[in-house]
Amino acid sequence: MGFWNYFPLNIKNFWIYKISEKFSNDYVLTRVVINEKIPFSEKIIYIFSYYIDDEEIKKESYVIQNDGIYLYAKKVENNLVVFDPLVPFLPYNFEDVDWWNWEGKAGFIPTKILFQNKKIIEENTYKIVYTEENKYGKSEYSILLKKNVGIVREEAETPYIGYVSELVDHSVSFDDFSFIDFKTFDDSGIVDGESSNLEGYGFEEFIDNDVINYGNYEDDMVDFVEDNVPDDFFVEDITHDDDLYEEEQDNENRW
């Protein structure tokens, strides 16, 4: 079974989520749509747009390569965060990998991410948990990936906010990746291994900051980010050495 069956990629795929602050009965409905597909050599860039009502609040871009799906960038309003190097979101052979990690920069901020595969917790559904750490603290996420659907649930606790996201509707199809010669994740040189060997990769270097208690937030994430996330977390008008987005740069309306 292809890894893309757990994170379906194709133009016009959409998911609708009910997102609420933890322990709150209030919620907003967020629609996630794949709006663009950009072929580039042996890579394909997919751009996801997030909407509350008809207002676009965020964009994310994922890159499919021959060893998995990678997160390349996030954009909230005019603030663009590019991950350098790409973040391995879902390895080609993720079913057989217990954990993998990433170290790099989110914008200008040195950051480390540790992913752990909790395996199948219910029929055709994998649980992936990951911890993201930088100088502003630690964020913890848990996502459920269901075959032929995608993300069906996400829980998050960060220094700025805590929320639960649950799928309420979706429509997906699958792109054709027959031209890509896929290889297993451990052939790529990126660290992976067994859960018992998590020590020694630098996570102990971070100060174990307590997660700040989150309070009620505005109607959407944009307002919250503007009020709480430090300015230097974001990069505006960034020039990046990686050539993945060269084709995008030619079109000023791409983002």
150: which strand partners? 146
pLDDT the model gives residue 117: 96
CA distance 33 to 55: 13
Asked if 116 contacts 99 with a C-beta cutoff of 8 angstroms, the reply is yes
Q: Is the dihedral of CA 192, 98, 115, 202 positive or negative?
A: negative
pLDDT band at 1 (very low <50, low <70, confident <90, very high): low
pLDDT digits (tens, 9 = 90+) for 226-240: 554 455 444 443 334
pLDDT the model gives residue 174: 95
By three-state DSSP, how is residue 94 classified?
helix
The pTM of the full predicted model, rounded to 2 decimals, is: 0.74
Domains and CATH numbers, the chain: 3-237 (2.40.360)
Q: Specify the long-range contacts of residues 203-207, CB closer than 8 Å, at least 24 apart.
A: 203/112, 203/114, 203/131, 203/133, 206/112, 206/133, 206/138
From first CA to last CA, the distance across the chain in angstroms is 32
Sorted by sequence, the CB contacts under 8 Å of residue 198 that are 6+ apart come out as 99, 114
Rounded to a whole number of angstroms, the CA Rg of the chain reads 18
pLDDT digits (tens, 9 = 90+) for 183-213: 876 544 444 433 223 233 222 222 233 322 2
3-state helix vs strand vs coil in the chain, percent to 5: 15, 50, 35
pLDDT digits (tens, 9 = 90+) for 82-140: 999 999 999 999 999 999 999 999 999 999 999 999 999 988 999 999 999 999 999 99
**In sequence order, what E strands does the chain have?**
14-21, 28-40, 43-52, 55-65, 68-76, 79-91, 99-106, 109-122, 125-134, 137-146, 150-157, 162-171, 192-193
Asked if 103 contacts 76 with a C-beta cutoff of 8 angstroms, the reply is no
